[in-house]
Structure 1
């Protein structure tokens, strides 16, 4: 909920335009800050009276747009409220964008996902487990094949040694050690 209704804002701007009262006089009359009134007047002057209506839709801005607003604010000698009224923004938005840009550069101006990340669906989890199981099975099969090949090689070496012993007899080295 907003602090001031759009009808109240329109009433103040019209009173300023028709009666010729300054923003300071209106601020005293209605017991609020003259900055609000100046902002509403500037917004109505640049965007029209309809810009004082409440927005029902949340707007999102690209990083390029944010950067252009910051650049405009820094290169022109206008107040933040004037720039905000020109671009139909809130002054606080520009202030946040400026701070984010100085702290994190262009990357900080890009929109970020909000809220908690969604949980993985059960299908995805099951598919992921199957994929992991398939990968694990393939890895184990490869390992088994490699082990079988090593066993075969060792058996062949053993058989060759047995045959050579049978054909050529015990080696002379074996006799010296005994």
Structure 2
């Protein structure tokens, strides 16, 4: 659902077209940024309607948009109007992804990747019923966890010792 109603958008656009009220004047009257108003005006002039926000774009579509933009030397706002993308910053984000990660980056799903294993290493049954392989896997996981925990504790201890040394040296240098 968009932030502004279609009725408000249409009223603002028609005020601009028929009454020649500038986007800056309407910004003050309606509390909508003049750049947003200009985008609505351009959408309406191009399509006769307003583009509905879309959240999911395929990798092929993203690549097509970026290629078209480069081929025709268009700005982000011009490209967004042609392809019906409501947020101009979306194209800029796609370009950054493409530059840093290549074509594959445009095809990746949004969101964070889970660092947890898909299948739990802890069997979902009483410990007495575990097979030797399940128990071995659990003990290995437990061992790895304890090693990592011990390493973190040792690192913290080293930091504290270094901070103490630094404080002692600063006190000695002050005297």
Measure the CA separation in 1 of the matches of 2:102 and 2:61.
14
Summarize deviations over 1:86-120 as a string: whole Å, max 9, x none: 11112011010011111111111113263564875
TM-score of the pair, normalised by structure 1: 0.55
Tell me how large the CA RMSD over aligned residues is.
3.6
Counterpart of 1:112 in 2: which secondary structure? coil
Structure 1 gaps, min length 5: 134-178
Measure the CA separation in 2 of the matches of 1:32 and 1:120.
46
Query: Which residue of structure 1 aligns with residue 62 of structure 2?
Result: 66
1:114 aligns with 2:123: no
Summarize deviations over 1:144-172 as a string: whole Å, max 9, x none: xxxxxxxxxxxxxxxxxxxxxxxxxxxxx
Measure the CA separation in 1 of the matches of 2:55 and 2:14.
28
| Map 1:21-170 → 2, pairs under 5 A | 21-51=21-51, 55=53, 59-89=55-85, 90-112=87-109, 114-115=111-112, 117=114, 120=118, 132=133
Measure the CA separation in 2 of the matches of 1:11 and 1:119.
53
Summarize deviations over 1:12-52 as a string: whole Å, max 9, x none: 1121222233434434544543211111111122233242x
The total of aligned residue pairs comes to: 130
TM-score of the pair, normalised by structure 2: 0.56
Q: Which moved more, 1:64-73 or 1:110-119?
A: 110-119
Q: Which has the larger radius of gyration?
A: 1
Structure 2 gaps, min length 5: 125-129, 135-175
Counterpart of 2:74 in 1: which secondary structure? coil
